[in-house]
């Protein structure tokens, strides 16, 4: 009699596994993208279950690690995926979301008989090439599927994992797979996410290089290797990438976009621009520029006919961070002159920027910023700025040349200075 009972239970389990496999579909392909918060509402909205067992509230699905920082010479993601469901079953195939598609992987443990299900625990070490596949600065996803039998107490409508259910087939013992937090929706894939930061989508060639000319079209010589240049979309999540002086000039074509420097830039060639007048300052910049600690060297301007001069002629409602301007040579005949910007206004943030070299103008001249002349509604933050540049001009200063006096009642006007200092010579005249 006992053998018949065990045979019946085994047959029931096999039938369940076969039926579940028949109804189990691939994950939803229309997956959300971007930096999202994986809360119960998000899981429910997109038809997934959380990595938790909704009945025990235990985390059953884990990724280790779940955050990665890549570099140009390391585009490999290595992680361990594990599902712990004691007394339950895990489907042998999981998926990770990459390159706008679900890519399958299989757990390493043996399945039950000839089924596609693994008992109690499943794990697998994944090695994924992130180049061109995964998403930088946004969430990436892995899904798995597991089931477990629970006892339903009709008296108080509670569900518990009950060892007796392993040998019972009555209505009080039911299989539950990937249920929502409120336990009303089941048979969903469990969703987990991981994040990637750093250089993305840059293919590295084994050929060594010294100059950009050693590389192919749309490639840049960086750290001795040829790397594909990435254009970007100009958004904060996917900024335009700047690799050389030509890319730097292109900021003027879209002054409201987001940009990042991918390498140091030698701007010596600006001495030959515009028949020797040099660099044309970018006017009305209202975007975002992240220098990533890189340096622009040897920026040159020699134009007696202009003011509002510097890398940027004027900026308003902009953000600039982590940038060096070394050995600038700027000589103009007009006002509002600085290595970084001639003038700053609006709601702007400038932080961790420095300059060296020589800056000369008529009036309102600074080692980094010529002047700020903000409207009534302004919020300017200047922090951790340094200048070793030598400065010449009336109303001049080491970091900041001149700030117009604000008179009257301006409740929406604030300007904050934090850690500004200069070591260059300042010569005022006029």
For 244-280, write each residue's pLDDT tens digit: 898 899 899 899 999 999 889 999 999 999 999 999 9
One domain, residues 49 and 161: yes
Mind listing the pLDDT tens digit for each residue in 24-69? 555 554 444 444 445 555 565 667 888 888 887 788 898 887 666 6
DSSP, res 31: -
Measure the CA–CA gap between 397 and 365, rounded to whole angstroms: 7
Same domain, 342 and 243: yes
The verdict on residue 215 lying in a domain is no
Residues 256 and 383 in one domain: yes
- In sequence order, the 6+-apart residues with CB closer than 8 A to the CB of 270 are 245, 278, 279, 298, 299, 300, 301
Do residue 316 and residue 186 come from a single domain? no
pLDDT value, residue 137: 46
> 5 versus 47: which is more confidently predicted?
47
* Mean pLDDT, range 420-427, rounded to an integer: 90
Please indicate, yes or no, whether residues 338 and 412 belong to a single structural domain of this protein: yes
Would 283 be classed as within a structural domain?
yes
Q: Verify that 189 and 239 share a domain, yes or no.
A: no
Q: What is the Cα–Cα distance from 111 to 89, expressed in whole angstroms?
A: 9
Q: Assess whether 252 and 184 both reside in one domain.
A: no
* Same-domain status, 187 and 274: no
Which of 180, 197, 214 delimits the end of a domain? 197
What does the pLDDT read at residue 256?
92
Going through 199-274 in order, the beta strands assigned E by DSSP cover 204-208, 219-222, 225-228, 240-242, 258-261, 265-266
Q: Which residues contact 158 (CB under 8 A, 6 or more apart)?
A: 152
Q: Give the residue with greater pLDDT, 137 vs 315.
A: 315
User: Is pLDDT above 80 for 291?
Assistant: yes
Q: Which residue has the higher pLDDT, 187 or 273?
A: 273
Confidence of residue 72 (pLDDT cuts 50, 70, 90): low
Total domains present in the chain: 2
- Are residues 236 and 193 part of one domain? no
**Domain boundary pick from 173, 197, 221:** 197
**Alpha helices (H) along 276-414:** none
Q: Are residues 180 and 314 in the same domain?
A: no
Give the structural domain span for 291: 232-427
Residue 109 lies in a domain: yes
Indicate whether 214 belongs to any domain: no
pLDDT of res. 166: 61
pTM across the whole model: 0.52
Q: Is residue 49 in some structural domain?
A: yes
Does 126 reside within a domain? yes
Q: Residue 237: inside a domain, yes or no? A: yes
For residues 85 and 174, membership in a common domain is answered with yes
SS3 for 287? Answer: coil
Residue 206 located in a structural domain? no
pLDDT at 164: 63
Same domain, 106 and 7: yes
């Amino acid at each position: 009699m006992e053998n018949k009972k065990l045979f019946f239970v085994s047959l029931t389990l096999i039938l369940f596994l076969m039926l579940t496999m028949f109804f189990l579909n691939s994950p939803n392909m229309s997956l959300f993208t971007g930096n999202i918060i994986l809360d119960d509402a998000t899981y429910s909205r997109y038809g997934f279950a959380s990595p938790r067992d909704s009945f025990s509230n235990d985390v059953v699905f884990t990724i280790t690690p779940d955050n990665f920082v890549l570099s140009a010479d390391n585009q490999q993601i290595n992680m361990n995926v594990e599902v712990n469901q004691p007394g339950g079953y895990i489907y042998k195939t999981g998926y990770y979301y990459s390159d706008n598609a679900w890519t399958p992987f299989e757990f390493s443990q043996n399945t039950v008989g000839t089924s596609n299900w693994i008992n109690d625990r499943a794990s697998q070490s994944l090695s994924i090439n992130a180049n061109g596949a995964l998403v930088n600065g946004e969430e990436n996803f892995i899904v798995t599927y597991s089931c477990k039998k629970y006892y339903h107490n009709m008296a108080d409508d509670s569900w518990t994992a009950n060892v007796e259910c392993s040998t019972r087939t009555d209505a009080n013992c039911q299989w539950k797979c990937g249920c929502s937090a409120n336990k009303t929706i089941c048979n969903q894939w469990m969703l987990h996410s991981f994040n990637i930061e750093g250089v993305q989508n840059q293919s590295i060639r084994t050929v060594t290089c010294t100059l950009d000319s050693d590389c192919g079209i749309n490639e840049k010589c960086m750290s001795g290797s040829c790397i594909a240049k990435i254009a970007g979309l100009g958004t904060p999540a996917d900024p335009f990438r700047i690799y050389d002086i030509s890319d730097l000039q292109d900021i003027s074509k879209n002054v409201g976009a987001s940009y990042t420097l991918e390498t140091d830039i030698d701007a010596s060639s600006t001495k030959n621009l515009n028949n020797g007048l040099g660099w044309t300052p970018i006017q009305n910049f209202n975007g975002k520029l992240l220098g990533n600690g890189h340096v622009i060297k040897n920026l040159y301007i020699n134009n007696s006919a202009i003011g509002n001069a510097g890398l940027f002629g004027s900026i308003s409602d902009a953000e600039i961070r982590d940038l060096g301007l070394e050995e600038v040579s700027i000589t103009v005949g007009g006002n509002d002159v600085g290595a970084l910007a001639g003038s700053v206004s609006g709601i702007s943030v400038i932080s961790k920027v420095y300059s060296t070299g020589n800056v000369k103008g008529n009036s309102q001249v600074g080692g980094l910023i010529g002047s700020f002349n903000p409207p009534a509604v302004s919020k300017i933050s200047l922090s951790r700025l340094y200048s070793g540049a030598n400065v010449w001009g009336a109303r001049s200063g080491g970091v900041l040349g001149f700030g117009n006096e604000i008179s009257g009642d301006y409740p929406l006007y604030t300007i904050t200075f934090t850690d500004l200092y200069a070591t260059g010579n300042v010569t005022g005249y006029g």
